Amino acid sequence: PKGVVITRECLESFVDWILPEQKFKDASEVYLNQAPFSFDLSVMDLYSSLATGGTLFSITKEEIAELKALYKSLAASNVSVWVSTPSFVRMCLMDPSFNESMLPKARKFWFCGETLAPDVAANLLKRFPKAEVWNTYGPTEATVATTSVQITEEIIAKHSPLPVGRPKPNSRVEVHDGNGKPVPGGERGEVIIAGPNVSTGYIHRPDLTSKAFFQLDGQRAYHTGDSGHYEGDLLFFDGRIDFQIKLHGYRIEIGDIEANLNALANVQDAVVIPAMKNGTADHLVAFIIFKEKPSASDFEVMKQMKKDLGERVPEYMVPRRFIFLPEFPITTNGKADRRKLAELIP
């Protein structure tokens, strides 16, 4: 909605990086197009197919809404490169038929746009043992993605949450403190991106452009508004800074709670939303999708989940209410629709 200006230089910077890194060379590739063309994730599959002479396989809104139709279409697609948000593939993984038999030519799963959970990556590696799983990070203002890493079983065993990768060549990805200075490794701060992939700003919005974009050692740079940290040369995404809320005097990172909920046994996906009262956060509500339906009552399940979560986070970070759903509403971009979930709070 802000109108991000992506120049030819930005696009070339992305394409010149992604083609050799992912070894996209010839016309044999079939790229899945899940994201609408208004969503920057589509730049990955659209321009990769154009640059190599490959095939772009687009799925419709109707197919996304009806899994049976989607699976039938996928089975006939010969998709070799899967490009989507993690939420979309998590939805597909709910059906055990989504596996190597359905997509025998799948050799890469490439994700961007939101957090890739370890259990999703592990499930993909199990169902598609010949395929690679890649996690990436980057806002629209930095042209799709700026970091990437191949997720292996070793990385899953070592890291939770998963890393989002290493910076691409010719781009700088730094973590800064509130004074604009780089922080030491392991410390959290705001992720700053600089380089030829960074947008020139927002069209007809000089006010927003001047706040978000700046010069860093002669390069265009962008304040992402994301919290992150480095462990060695790997960047970790720690949530949106604007996902930080004040609750009864405590500053809370919503992403931390969601990550710890997703780490609990039998949790397939979790979204936490603050319930508002008189314009301020009154309490937290957790929306949960289970891998398998619990046999106990909702009350007993909620009680146990609060106990298990309380062993991982401070008491003030444990949601007051839990709402269990078979699936989450999904935006057209393939992400969990937080606005619609918030409407479910009584």
Check: CB of residue 182 under 8 Å from CB of residue 172. Answer: no
Q: How confident is the model at residue 255 (pLDDT cuts 50, 70, 90)?
A: confident
Per-residue pLDDT of 47-104, as tens digits, reads 999 999 999 999 998 888 888 899 999 999 999 999 999 989 998 998 999 999 999 9
Q: Decide: 145 and 11 in contact? Cβ < 8 Å.
A: no
Tell me how far apart the alpha carbons of residues 316 and 318 are, in angstroms, rounded to a whole number.
6
Q: What is the pTM of this model?
A: 0.82
The DSSP 8-state label assigned to residue 70 in this structure reads: H
Instruction: Please identify which residue in the block is written with the tokens 């025998």.
Output: 104
Q: Quick one: what percent of the chain has pLDDT higher than 70?
A: 100
- Diameter of the chain by CA atoms? 60
Q: Nearest CA to 137 among 156, 111, 157?
A: 111
pLDDT the model gives residue 342: 94
243 pLDDT more than 80: no
Q: What is the per-residue pLDDT across 313-330, written as a single tens digit (0 to 9) for each?
A: 999 999 999 999 999 998
Phi and psi angles of residue 24, each rounded to the nearest 5 degrees, phi first: -90, 110
Contacts of 154 (CB under 8 A, 6+ apart): none
- From 248, 234, 264, select the one nearest 315 (Cα to Cα): 248
Mean pLDDT of 246-266: 88
Could you tell me how many residues make up the chain? 346
Q: Which domains does the chain have, with CATH numbers?
A: 7-166 (3.40.50.12780), 172-238 (2.30.38.10), 248-342 (3.30.300.30)
pLDDT at residue 218, rounded to an integer: 95
Are 252 and 266 within 8 A, CB to CB? no
pLDDT per residue over 179-210, tens digit each?
Answer: 999 999 999 999 999 999 999 999 999 999 99
Higher-scoring residue by pLDDT: 3, 250: 3
